[in-house]
Amino acid sequence: MKGEYMTHHLQQRAPIMEALNQYKSMRVVPFDVPGHKRGRGNPELATFLGEQCLTMDVNSMKPLDNLCHPVSIIKEAEELAAQAFNAKHAFFMVNGTTSAVQAMIMTACKAGDKIIMPRNVHRSAINALILSGAVPVYVNPGVHSELGIPLGMSVKDVEQAILENTDAKAILINNPTYYGICSNLQALTDLAHRYNMLVLVDEAHGTHFYFGDNLPASAMSVGADMASVSMHKSGGSLTQSSFLLINNEVSEGYTRQIINLTQTTSGSYLLLSSLDISRRSLALNGKEIFRKVAEMAQYTRNEINKIGGYYAYSKELLNGDTIFDFDVTKLSVDTREVGLAGIEVYDILRDEYDIQIEFGDIGNILAYISVGDRHLDLERLVAALAEIKRRYSKDKSRIYIHEYISPQVAYTPQEAFYAPKQKLPISESAGYVSSEFVMCYPPGIPILAPGERITKEILDFIDYSKVKGCFLTGTEDSNIEHINVLKELME
């Protein structure tokens, strides 16, 4: 009880915010950057963003510490964050969870080291392989036979990958996937640890697991080694801010060196203070916040399922392995029975109903529910979905889902990315090895990654995604009509 009281007491502090307030009240004359000088030098920007915002946009200095080498208030804030997340240490990240995922992989792997991961990782993970030269060993995540969504990794498949690659340095796990699906994190962590592999967890969509009740297990709670936590998603901080958590034997100093390889030397205090304040809020009120979010998501799920046609899925999908757990705060909805692709529903919601959801893919939409939502907005979403069904529903046979396409990895992502290459019309590229990515954004999970052989099946899927209106990205050619392939294979 006493310990809990102490923790609660400490978590009421927000050292970065407090230091910024203190610094402001000292009315220090700024002869340092940023040159807008508390907004006075850029009145248009100050009017647009608000004066308070610009007065807090300051540079590293003694009273405000330095993100690259924290010794005072940032260090304290990091310690509080570590305590809140039950980690050995927490790093404040200002270049998105992308930078956290990359720091995890680059801390764990050098060039040539193997890392086991599901293929449905975010592009940031494969980008880290291009940067580091690490070699992926993909585990087929499998696709749900009815919903068409990629699932978690089965413990057996991971075990097989580990046995075939006992020299691998680490394994990367999504917790949860964009759709809310969790693998058996405890079992996978124990398994990897038995073979002395580090367990890295992409928790871009799992911040709330650390605070809410009855939510899936978090990385730190099962003893994983590193986790990337998108505070700016369900945690409420500003876009681009994130935490990197470490645990066990992972060295704080070495991880910091890796972070500093690519991190700015001018970390934004707007982002840092937003992390600090949001951490405090979650530590103090997270349980209640996520109880409400889960309740709103459940209400909306029930109402959407009453419309008919749509399927807002939840824990009934659990199968003990590839869907070991489900994050009930996620509102993922299968739309195919209405005869519309998820991406079509996504577009109609925005264009016709002024409702912006997180993403739509071929078979699903995902609406992000958070503490900022109001009941009346949930009613709008449900009503709009009912209307879309009434006005736009089509024959369901026009939407077909694709099986998981097992990648044929010919080269490591780094080799392929830097290899001599040749531009080809994408339609003529089957059989060649791609030097670049193709993906729909969102969700940003690569359809094709550098080093993978292009097949007719993949091209068909890309075509289908294009026709349905997915936003494709990744290639040098911004129109995705041409693709760079490896030259040596051209002859």
Ligand X SMILES: Cc1ncc(COP(=O)(O)O)c(C=O)c1O
Contact set with ligand X (CB under 6 A): 96-98, 101, 122, 124, 174, 178, 202, 204, 230, 242, 444
Element of type H or E holding 123: helix 123-132
Given phi > 0 = left and psi -120 to 50 = alpha, else beta, which region is 51? alpha
User: If residue 364 lies in a helix (H) or strand (E), which one and from where to where?
Assistant: strand 364-368
Give the count of residues interacting with another protein (CB under 8 A).
15
Q: Is 190 in the site for another protein (CB under 8 A)?
A: no
| Residue whose CB is less far from another protein, 272 or 371 | 371
Could you identify the residue written with the tokens 């089509």? 394
From ligand X, another protein, none, interface partner of 380 (C-beta below 5 to 8 A by class): another protein
> Residue type at 335?
T
Closest approach, Cβ 240 to ligand X, in A, equals 6
The amino acid that residue 449 corresponds to is A
Indicate whether 295 belongs to the interface with another protein (CB under 8 A): no
User: Are the C-beta atoms of 63 and 22 separated by less than 8 Å?
Assistant: yes
Instruction: Note whether 370 and 234 are within 8 A (CB).
Output: yes
For residue 313, CA distances in Å to 11, 300, 356, 404 come to: 35, 11, 20, 20
Give the separation between CA 276 and CA 97, rounded to whole angstroms. 16
Smallest gap from Cβ 300 to another protein, in A, equals 11
Question: Under a CB-based contact definition with an 8 Å cutoff, are residues 183 and 116 in contact?
Answer: no
- State the alpha helices, DSSP H only, in 42-72: 43-49, 51-55
For the CB of residue 288, give the shortest distance to another protein in the complex, in Å: 17
- Contact yes or no for 208/215 (Cβ under 8 A): yes
354 counts as binding another protein under rule CB under 8 A: yes
Least Å from the CB of residue 230 to ligand X: 5
* Residue 379's binding partner out of another protein, ligand X, none, with CB under 5 to 8 Å set by partner kind: another protein
Please identify, using beta-carbon distances, which residue of 197 and 388 lies nearer to another protein.
388
Which residue in the set 51, 164, 213, 352 belongs to the binding site for another protein (CB under 8 A)?
A: 352
Whole-angstrom Cα distance, residue 302 to residue 79? 40
Which residue is it, tokens 């690519």? 262
User: Least distance in Å: CB of 383 to another protein?
Assistant: 4
Helix (H) or strand (E) holding 242: strand 242-246
Q: Name which of 9 and 391 has its Cβ closer to another protein.
A: 391
- 382 lies in the site for another protein, by CB under 8 A: yes
| Region of 151-159, 314-322, 327-335, 347-355 interacting with another protein (CB under 8 A) | 347-355
* 329 contact partners, CB below 8 Å, separation of at least 6: 180, 208, 212, 215, 234, 290, 293, 294, 297, 369
Is residue 297 within 8 Å of residue 328, measured between CB atoms? yes
Which residues, 300 to 339, sit near another protein by CB under 8 A? Answer: 303
Of positions 146, 164, 288, 379, contacts another protein by CB under 8 A = 379
Cβ proximity to another protein, 32 vs 352, nearer residue: 352
Asked if 391 touches another protein (CB under 8 A), the answer is yes
The residue from 18, 57, 113, 387 that contacts another protein (CB under 8 A) is 387
172 binds another protein (CB under 8 A): no
Measure the CA–CA gap between 118 and 106, rounded to whole angstroms: 17
Q: Which residues pair with 356 in a beta bridge?
A: none
444 binds, among another protein, ligand X, none (CB under 5 to 8 A by kind): ligand X
What, of another protein, ligand X, none, does residue 195 touch, CB below 5 to 8 Å by kind? none
- Is residue 292 a contact point for another protein (CB under 8 A)? no
Q: Cβ closer to another protein: 113 or 387?
A: 387
Residue 259 binds: one of ligand X, another protein, none (C-beta under 5 to 8 A by kind): none
**49 makes contact with another protein (CB under 8 A):** no
- The phi and psi torsions of 171 (rounded to 5 degrees) equal -130, 140
Question: Out of another protein, ligand X, none, which partner does residue 324 contact, by CB within 5 to 8 A per kind?
Answer: none
CA distances from 36 to 26, 30, 43, 239 (A): 18, 10, 9, 22
The entry of ligand X, another protein, none that residue 338 binds, CB within 5 to 8 Å by partner kind: none
Q: Which residue's beta carbon is nearest to the bound ligand X? A: 96
Residue 192 CA from chain centroid, whole number? 22
3-state helix, strand, coil in the chain (%, to 5): 45, 15, 40
- Shortest distance, CB of residue 201 to ligand X, whole angstroms? 10
In this structure, the strands spanning 181-182 and 198-203 are unpaired
Contact partner at residue 62 from another protein, ligand X, none, CB < 5 to 8 Å by partner kind? none
Among another protein, ligand X, none, what binds residue 225 when CB lies within 5 to 8 Å by partner kind? none
The answer to whether 390 contacts another protein (rule: CB under 8 A) is: yes
Write phi, then psi, for 201 (nearest 5 degrees). Answer: -125, 125
Binding residues (CB under 8 A) for another protein: these are: 303, 352-354, 375-376, 379-380, 382-384, 386-387, 390-391
